[in-house]
Amino acid sequence: MKRTVSFILSLILAMSLTACKANNAPSVQPSDISASSESSSNETPTEDPVLTTIPGYANEQGEFAKGPNGETAVSADTVTITEEQYAQIKEKKLKAAMLWAGASEWYNAMTDGAKAEFEKMGIEIVAISDAQFDPAKQATDIETTMAVKPDILLSLPVDPVSGTRAYQPAVDAGTKIVFADNGVNSYKADEQYVSIVTGDQYGMGRAAAELMAESIGGKGKIGVIFYDVDFLVTNNRDNEFVRTIKKNYPDIEIAAITGFSEESATGDVAATMLTQHPDLDGIYVAWDVAAEPVVAELRAAGKKDVKVVTIDLGGNNDLDMAQGGNVYGKVADMPYQIGATMAKLAALNILGEKTPAYVVSGTVEMTKENMAEAWRASLNKDPDANVLKALDK
């Protein structure tokens, strides 16, 4: 879980990550999907061909997704700072930087949450950047920022692979790094970084499945458009969405499942799905920005009754929802809380306090009925004026 989209996956990302383009991403056919994954107690379990299509598939999962090194998640509500600790941090006159992967309402809220905490701590913000989901640009952003010697670096890595080298200058400088959503390969908490803060990925996938079932009355055919890149957060959400549909909603058929690596390609994916399955009742898309081309394709095809469920809040698709269009529901984490928690964790670590390695925020479900409340809970702000106008609020 559109957020006002402002980032586009670059060609560099598609080349650097082992992803398939939308026009050649794996597509599971209905005959594959209908194959049962169940087995008797005396048989070796068979992996589900639908689930194993999505990167990051795991046979076993618990209530919460674990961190990249198997860390157990704790709630962001447990991360607190006392007034005495705020005063101690303020005396240190620290500097902080925020280097994000992209730009959107979600990133804005994360920035606002961190800024609010840094202000309380008397911490100067020396850099904020948007890598435009380009690993090379993010590496340059890190190198440039280290010239002003930040004590704290809050960041969302674009690429777990190239990030290992990209963040090394910050590690070598002893900068306290707190990641949002994703870690980088070979890095461990309390060694190269402090913590990772993210949403409840499994919970978001389950909630999206519930909204999809609600939108189509608990039965029908749906398509799944997943992110076909090794990216922990989206992989967990996409997998759990499919798991929940298959486990809890036997009358819903996943008629097609196809991956993408570039947001702009999802419209073509949707067009192919609609050609092959003109009777689709709904489509799940990995996140809000990527759902925009899908909604546009549905409009162009005159498919007013095909419902879309996705992740994250944002202006364009939320306006479609407010107007009673294709977008039925969304699930979001709480980026304002994520940003604030990241700042707190960095400060606590500097003070020598023990900090958790993997932290999750709350989850918000949104339909047309609770849009204003969902925005306030997730982003700590009201929806765009045109959305409120459409809602007559």
Domains 11-34+49-61+201-332+365-391 and 74-199+335-362 share a fold: yes
Residue 45 has pLDDT above 70, yes or no: no
SS3 readout for 268-311? HHHHHHHHHCCCCCEEEECCHHHHHHHHHHHHHCCCCCCEEEEE
Is residue 40 over pLDDT 60? no
CA angle 7, 375, 233 (to 5 degrees): 50
Sequence ranges of the domains in the chain: 11-34+49-61+201-332+365-391, 74-199+335-362
- Lowest mean pLDDT, pick from 51-55, 127-131, 199-203, 284-288: 51-55
Average pLDDT over residues 192-218: 97
pLDDT of residue 105: 85
Higher per-residue confidence, 117 vs 106: 117
State the average pLDDT over residues 242-250: 96
Q: Does residue 41 carry a pLDDT above 90?
A: no
Question: Over the stretch 312-351, which tens digit does the pLDDT of each residue have?
Answer: 998 899 999 999 999 999 999 999 999 999 999 999 999 9
Helical spans, DSSP H, in 77-182: 83-92, 105-121, 135-145, 163-166, 168-172
Average pLDDT of span 158-166: 94
Q: What are phi and psi of 225, to 5 degrees?
A: -115, 105
Architecture of domain 74-199+335-362: 3-Layer(aba) Sandwich (3.40)
pLDDT at 314: 85
Tell me: domain 11-34+49-61+201-332+365-391, CATH 3.40.50.2300, correct?
yes
Average pLDDT, the chain: 87
